[in-house]
Amino acid sequence: MFDTVLVANRGEIAVRVIRTLRELGVRSVAVFSDADAGARHVREADTAVRIGPAPAAESYLSVERLLEAATRTGAQAVHPGYGFLAENAAFARACEEAGLVFIGPSADAIALMGDKIRAKETVEAAGVPVVPGGRDPELAEAARKLGAPVLLKPSAGGGGKGMRLVRDLSVLDEEIAAARREARASFGDDTLLVERWVDRPRHIEIQVLADGHGNVVHLGERECSLQRRHQKIIEEAPSVLLDEATRAAMGEAAVQAARSCGYRGAGTVEFIVPGGDPSQYYFMEMNTRLQVEHPVTELVTGLDLVEWQLRVAAGESLGFTQAEVTLTGHAVEARVCAEDPARGFLPSGGTVLLLDEPQGDGVRTDSGLSEGTEVGSLYDPMLSKVIAYGPDRATALRRLRSALAATATLGVQTNAGFLRRLLAHPDVVAGELDTGLVGRVVDDLVSTDVPEEVYEAAAAVRLEELKPRGDGAGWVDPFSVPSGWRLGGTPKPLAFHLRAPDPVTYTPRGTATVTGDTVTVTLDGLRHTFRRAGDWLGRDGDAWQVRDHDPVADSLSQAGHAGADSLTAPMPGTVTVVKVAVGDEVAAGQSLLVVEAMKMEHVISAPHAGTVAELDVTPGTTVAMDQVLAVIAPKEETE
């Protein structure tokens, strides 16, 4: 076993890897950018090395700086985690050349499976069933031969980027051109392949583990069909769709796929499965790294996958055979991300003011957070993963819903409440899943309305802050008590001007108790309990930022821009493109600016024809959510 391992990643996966290193008695080395100097993974590692400025290209994606950090700290091996350089063949090869062990497959295996076209051809030759399709240069011809609907996919990419579903072949050429542009921008390679689209498909993947001595086993499957924008948000093991015979057949196909590329380490073979006929499964791709959802496999097999990655990389043989792998119970994972469901799941950010992450009683949380963590717009929005285990699926689902209700990340808006409601949806409870389910039900699970009890709790906090504290001897000035008392008149209840995010004037009408960071309100005979921190209130995984609202200042601001529209940032991020200047005339719907955050671009367009009256940003400006970017005076006002 190694003495020292450098973890070439950040956030929850770095913390996760460091935990196993500590259990094995291996010294851990963390790396960090300037933005992560105070991050949890930095504090938990035995040693930490600064590797550059905040942008990933100058820190976490810098092969040179990572190798220098490994050399300086005496690391013998590098664990890449997932994301960043985890599936970068050049990085794996550079580690080898520097005399470091790359904890993962060989550079050749990464390169082979990273090319979707070559990967498909390789596994097909090994007898693994693949989705019918075609590739460049006969892409359009193959698509028309398959018939609509078809799916266009970048050969070099992943994560759903550049994928386009074409249901009408009359627009095929335009869709191919658009897919090429996105693939080129995302991966520097516009090579595409086309596959037959499977309607209402299920996404099922098989975990494989291989050593350097010719042993390959599979550890069962994970159901990953609950996705949004081609990104997984809920995963579970095992899948309710598969019987033992299908599980064994898919497992053997995954083992053959791993053997076909000489795989070593932990990897995942992904299949697309028609929900109506699980025996007709097709290879999609192979992820040559540890998966985000690996904890559900760990819980049902009792194996630590990071430990086995380390043991295999150190030259050990697998200590068990396929016959000795058993799946016990059921596990479900939810990915908690910094995003706002009420704003179309746009990325969010801020400072973690209060953090509650459940552990124990069948619940595990893998997280990179701590109170005080600054969640910015530079990196992936996933903050943590909440995983629940039970003897059966129903128990695991109940435990996960309960754990999400107990999860609080006040100061940063997350999707925890949305995930809890999704897990309670009848189709999810019944196991009737497919990759389009979330898109069909999302509107029923998201609301922009703020419950009245939230305003009641916010008013109670402010009322508590107004109460006089006395002179230390127990005497309180009666004129300082916020009772609404008036000389010679009937007491007038206090009203509070609040914004969450729309302005309201709220008069409390219930009863409330404020104790530390907990607020309990009773309204219409129902009791509601909230956690609170600063302007934030949280309950059942949901959170609201309720700020004070000054109606006078707001009126003056609106008067200053009468008839004009202020364009604000829909999410915290960085302005990457500015296409106009003050005084420019613009058309309705014209693209004016681009704001980027957490790998997502958002185009800011003109709400109407007019003139740019104000422009408060330039390319590179960091902006907060709702910050004014520009003001557009309507055309008629200009004239």
Distance, CA of 187 to CA of 68 (rounded, Å) = 26
pLDDT for the residue numbered 620: 85
Nearest Cα residue to 113 out of 98, 132, 128, 95: 128
| DSSP 8-state symbol, 624 | -
Same fold flag, 132-196 and 561-638? no
- Can you tell me the distance from the alpha carbon of 538 to that of 465, in angstroms, rounded to the nearest whole number? 19
- Residue 221's DSSP bridge partners are 206
Least confident range of 5-9, 96-100, 273-277, 533-537: 273-277
Q: Are 205 and 222 in contact (CB under 8 A)?
A: yes
Domain range list for the chain:
4-103, 132-196, 452-469+494-548, 561-638
Query: Residue 440's pLDDT is what?
Result: 95
Q: What average pLDDT score do residues 447-457 get?
A: 96
Give phi and psi for 569, each to the nearest 5: -70, 125
Least confident of 65-79, 194-208, 421-435, 486-500: 486-500
CA 212 – CA 215 distance, rounded (Å): 7
Instruction: Please determine, for residue 491, whether its predicted confidence score (pLDDT) is greater than 80.
Output: no
Least confident of 211-225, 465-479, 484-498: 465-479
117 or 598, greater pLDDT: 117
- CA distances (Å), origin 515, targets 472, 512, 521, 524: 20, 10, 11, 21
Greatest mean pLDDT range, 11-25, 113-127, 484-498: 11-25
d(CA 203, CA 162): 18
The angle, 0 to 180 degrees and rounded to 10, between the axes of the packed helices 244-260 and 116-125 is: 110
Q: Picking from 361-375, 402-416, 432-446, 579-593, which range would have the lowest pLDDT averaged per residue? A: 579-593
Q: Tell me the average pLDDT across 460-465.
A: 92
How many angstroms separate the CA atoms of 12 and 533, rounded?
23
Give the number of other Cβ atoms within 10 Å of residue 328's Cβ. 11
Neighbours of 559 (CB within 10 A): 8
| Cα 173 to Cα 192: distance, rounded to the nearest angstrom | 13
Of 200, 180, 205, the residue nearest 285 (C-alpha): 205
CA atoms within 13 A on the CB side of 358: 22
Q: Predicted confidence band at 421 (pLDDT cuts at 50, 70, 90)?
A: very high
Q: Which of 297, 299, 242 is nearest to 267 (CA)?
A: 297
pLDDT recorded at residue 639: 47
Instruction: Please tell me the distance from the alpha carbon of residue 370 to that of residue 505, in angstroms, as a whole number.
Output: 34
CATH of domain 4-103: 3.40.50.20
The reported pLDDT for the residue numbered 488 is 65
Question: Which of the four pLDDT bands, split at 50, 70 and 90, describes residue 469?
Answer: low
Contact 621, 548 (CB under 8 A): no
- Please work out, in degrees rounded to the nearest 5, the angle formed at the alpha carbon of residue 247 by the alpha carbons of 267 and 328: 85
DSSP bridge partners of 51: none
Kind of pairing, strands 4-7 and 77-79? parallel
Burial class (CB in 10 A: 0-12, 13-18, 19+), 200: middle
Comparison of pLDDT for 517 and 158, the residue scoring more: 517
533 or 470, which is more confident?
A: 533
In whole numbers, what is the pLDDT of the chain averaged over residues? 92
- 3-state SS assignment for residue 312: helix
Query: Which pLDDT value is given to residue 457?
Result: 98
- The structure tokens listed for 519 are 């607020």
CATH of 561-638, one of 2.160.10.10, 3.40.5.50, 2.60.40.1150, 2.40.50.100: 2.40.50.100
Examine the pLDDT at 530 and tell me if it is beyond 70.
yes
Given this model, what pLDDT does residue 481 score?
Answer: 62
Q: Is 306 helix (H, G, I), strand (E, B) or coil?
A: helix
Whether the Cβ atoms of residue 373 and residue 352 lie closer than 8 Å to each other = yes
Q: Extract the tokens encoding 179.
A: 């897919």
CA gap 588, 503 in Å, rounded? 28
Look at residue 454 in the predicted model and tell me its pLDDT: 98
According to DSSP H, which parts of 487-529 are helical? none
Q: What is the pLDDT of residue 494?
A: 85
Provide CB contacts within 8 A for 574, sequence distance 6+: 377, 595, 596, 597, 620, 621, 622, 623
Give the pair of three-digit tokens for residue 4: 């020292």
Assign 199 a pLDDT band (cuts: 50, 70, 90).
confident
The tens digit of pLDDT for each residue in 115-140 reads 988 999 999 999 999 988 888 888 99
Distances (CA, A) of 626 to 19, 35, 348: 38, 22, 11
550-571 pLDDT, tens digit per residue, is 887 766 655 555 556 888 888 8
Q: How far from 580 is each of 585, 586, 590, CA to CA, in Å?
A: 9, 8, 10
What is the pLDDT averaged over residues 241-257? 96
Residue 249: count of CB within 10 angstroms of its CB: 16
Model confidence at 282, in pLDDT bands (50, 70, 90)? Answer: very high
pLDDT value of residue 573: 84
Is a pLDDT exceeding 50 seen at residue 638? no
H helical segments located in 302-363 = 305-313
- For residue 158, the model assigns a pLDDT of 66
254 CB-contact burial (10 Å; exposed 0-12 / middle 13-18 / buried 19+): buried
- Is the peptide bond between 551 and the residue preceding it cis, with omega within 30 degrees of 0? no
What was the pLDDT predicted at 386? 98
Residue 567 backbone phi and psi in degrees, to 5: -95, 120
Structure tokens at 250: 């898919």
Report the CATH architecture of 132-196: 2-Layer Sandwich (3.30)
| Mean pLDDT of the 407-427 span | 98
* pLDDT digits 0-9 by tens, 20-47: 999 999 999 999 999 999 999 999 999 9
Q: How far apart are CA 110 and CA 92, in angstroms?
A: 8
Phi and psi torsions of 503, nearest 5°: -75, 140
Per-residue pLDDT for 493 more than 80? no
Give the mean pLDDT of 153-163: 78
